[in-house]
Structure 1
Amino acid sequence: MISEKPVNNMPLGNLSGISYCHHQWLGISDKDDKYIYQLVEKSSYYEARKISLPPIPKLNDLGSSFTAEQPEVFEGQGNLDFEAIVCDKEGSLYLVSESTNQILKVSNGFSQANWLILPNNLIYEAKKANLLRHFNAKFEGLAVDGEITKLWLVAERDSRGIILLEKVNDQWVCEDCVLLSEHLMRSSPKLLGSKRLPLDFSDAFYYQGKLFTLERLQHQICRRNSHNAQLEKCWQFEDSVLSDEKFRYGAYSFGQAEALWLNDDEVWIGIDNNNMYRNDGEYRPIIYRFKAPNSGWLD
């Protein structure tokens, strides 16, 4: 670990996604539909500065070809439940809405918002593969390639899965798009009680032709084949964030890593504390920064 820094001034907390976009850190909260946040790094913390989202089109105004489901939300949670944020080389942002299983594109310097028109068969194919069948266990992460011709959606749990959409003739296509669907139980780390819980995904990141998944229960980052989601290698961060009792959240059994971003040299992992206090009294979301493996991410 290089550093662990709390995030100041996210009034609703729940850091659910981070991305480094055009020389600035950006973050989102799954409890906030009105803002994204510029995360300005200081010596011992990140300062969250609000950036207002433009008006967001209503889902029911987009016609019969639009495949959104009715939003499902917790009391006090943002209606759209944004869970991931990525950007393209032109500066447009892409936000995943877990409650609707849709992707919001924010462009033109944060001044315009539109829902991507996803394939009509996406939800059908996902549910046929036993994905997206449980409340609050739907699309949790998003990764895109550099040209925005491919995007990967990760379904959180019960079952967890990976879906690949490709752009053909300027339209997103779901053809044999479910790369992975699995419902597996594993024990949480010993320091979190060794409880049997479902494996999950909480974010994804595309880097150098590979797909990296954030696997929350097992406190690890895994590299996968981006074409078929086959597992290639994993790196654990359990010892770094759990070995010191002060970094733990009482008797909480689940992991809380929600956000992932990496480059050649380092990786950043965002913690959604879900309004819980850490054992040392810290109540703000946390961003951990780690060195990359000595042999690199592709070895």
Structure 2
Amino acid sequence: MRHNLAWLAKGIFLCLAGSSAYANGAPVQPAKLLDTWWIDGSEDLDISGLSFCDGELLAVADKSSEQIYRLSVQADTERVTLEPKARFARPDLPDDQPVPLKVRALHYASTPLSMDFEGITCDTSGVYLLSERHNRIAQLDSAEKRARWLAPRWSESARARGYLQIFNAESEGLVKAEDDFWVALEREPRGLLRLRRGEVVGEDFRSLPEVADLDFRGRAEDVTALSYYDGGLFTLERNAFAVCRRELTSLRAEWCVHYRDIEEAPKYVYRDTRFGKGEGLAINQQGIFVVLDNNGVARVADNEDRRGLLLHLAMPKFASDSPRNDMR
């Protein structure tokens, strides 16, 4: 009996050790740059979210509360134009949750700053936007040309768990993955919120398993955008200059690519490296698309150029070449 218990204990130890190694030892490799585009018309808008919807690359911006945009990217060009996709009336102040005085004042003082849209996603029912200002999801009503709040709200429950403690570093990324919404909670601490179908209040707050070889270089560990493709949840980990594919249930990283050498290359780097950081993420069969939000800062190579930058990165070689499902 004692002999069997010893073997059982050893087996449990090895399983736990293997699980820990899997969680912490995901391969991390330099990203391969396929293309870049300077985004005409993005000056002072601060593009903050991306999503492929019905074959189009859609975007939202920090300083645009009543419009979403389209990016028509083409190879062999260095520029792409930010085109209006849809205009709509912003939602009213939520009447079912506390609204901080600063947020309430911004709503009336500045329409462009009132929503602070940070994420965009879609499904067969339409397009959804994430407001960092209100920590809520709005659905676009194309018939009435207005946006309406969905029921789930999480500000109070998230703050009670220690999240959303820093103004303007709150709900930062959104994706619809299968039947659920996932929301990225930016930093200090960072985390994810899973909103299951039919929930009024989401309680599934999740921490992100660490990846041993990701280096945040003394900056806060954060997560600023999400995407879903080929059965995996992708996280944009801005201060590590990284995109990671994570298993949808455990959130353990399967692999990561890092692009610091690209973002900080003399041709692309912005004059203040606190900005010019990855904020939007979209994935399709062509690869990984990351948009840099430069917060109005000019780049080093041209102090008159305040456009945002769109990066196109390749999937790493060890990733699957045969996608199982596509993101709408």
Interval containing the TM-score (normalised by the shorter chain): 0.7 to 0.9
Q: Does 1:293 align with 2:325?
A: no
Indicate the SS of the match to 1:12: coil
- Matched with 1:248 is 269
| Displacement of 1:79 | 0.9
Give the alignment partner of residue 223 of structure 2, picking from 201, 206, 212. 201
| Displacement of 1:37 | 1.3
| Displacement of 1:241 | 2.6
Any stretches of 5+ residues in structure 2 without a counterpart? 1-32, 323-328
Q: Does 1:10 align with 2:65?
A: no
- Matched with 2:21 is none
Measure the CA separation in 2 of the matches of 1:102 and 1:233. Answer: 30
- Matched with 1:152 is 182
| Displacement of 1:126 | 1.4
Which sits farther off after the overlay, 218-227 or 253-262?
253-262
Which sits farther off after the overlay, 71-80 or 286-295?
71-80
Indicate the SS of the match to 1:125: helix
Measure the CA separation in 2 of the matches of 1:236 and 1:280. Answer: 23
Measure the CA separation in 1 of the matches of 2:241 and 2:266. Answer: 16
Cα 1:260–1:274 change in 2 (3 A) is same
Q: Deviations over 1:186-237 (max 9, x none)?
A: 9977xxxx5x221111101122332110000010011223224333322111
Q: Deviations over 1:99-125 (max 9, x none)?
A: 100111113368342111005xx3333
Q: Percent identity?
A: 26
Q: Does 1:58 align with 2:86?
A: no
- Matched with 2:133 is 99
Measure the CA separation in 2 of the matches of 1:293 and 1:182. Answer: 21
Cα 1:255–1:5 change in 2 (3 A) is closer
Give the alignment partner of residue 206 of structure 2, picking from 161, 179, 187. 179
Given residue 269 of structure 1, which amino acid in structure 2 is its aligned partner?
Answer: V
Give the alignment partner of residue 233 of structure 2, picking from 204, 211, 217. 211
Cα 1:226–1:179 change in 2 (3 A) is same
Give the alignment partner of residue 283 of structure 2, picking from 254, 262, 265. 262
Measure the CA separation in 2 of the matches of 1:116 and 1:251. Answer: 37
Q: Does 1:131 align with 2:163?
A: yes
Any stretches of 5+ residues in structure 1 without a counterpart? none
Given residue 317 of structure 2, which amino acid in structure 1 is its aligned partner?
Answer: N
Given residue 131 of structure 1, which amino acid in structure 2 is its aligned partner?
Answer: Y
Quick check: 1:188–1:253 contact (8 Å CA) kept in 2? no
- Matched with 1:239 is 261
Quick check: 2:65–2:113 contact (8 Å CA) kept in 1? yes
Q: Deviations over 1:124-151 (max 9, x none)?
A: 33123211111111000011124xx201
Under a length normalisation based on structure 2, what TM-score does the superposition of the two structures give? 0.76
Cα 1:279–1:109 change in 2 (3 A) is farther
- Matched with 2:145 is 111
Cα 1:156–1:260 change in 2 (3 A) is same
Quick check: 2:44–2:306 contact (8 Å CA) kept in 1? no
- Matched with 1:162 is 192
- Matched with 1:22 is 54
Larger Rg: 2
Measure the CA separation in 2 of the matches of 1:11 and 1:181. Answer: 33
Q: Deviations over 1:38-96 (max 9, x none)?
A: 22335321112224432233124x4xxx3363427699761110001111134x11111
Cα 1:275–1:229 change in 2 (3 A) is same
Measure the CA separation in 2 of the matches of 1:297 and 1:260. Answer: 19
Measure the CA separation in 1 of the matches of 2:289 and 2:55. Answer: 15
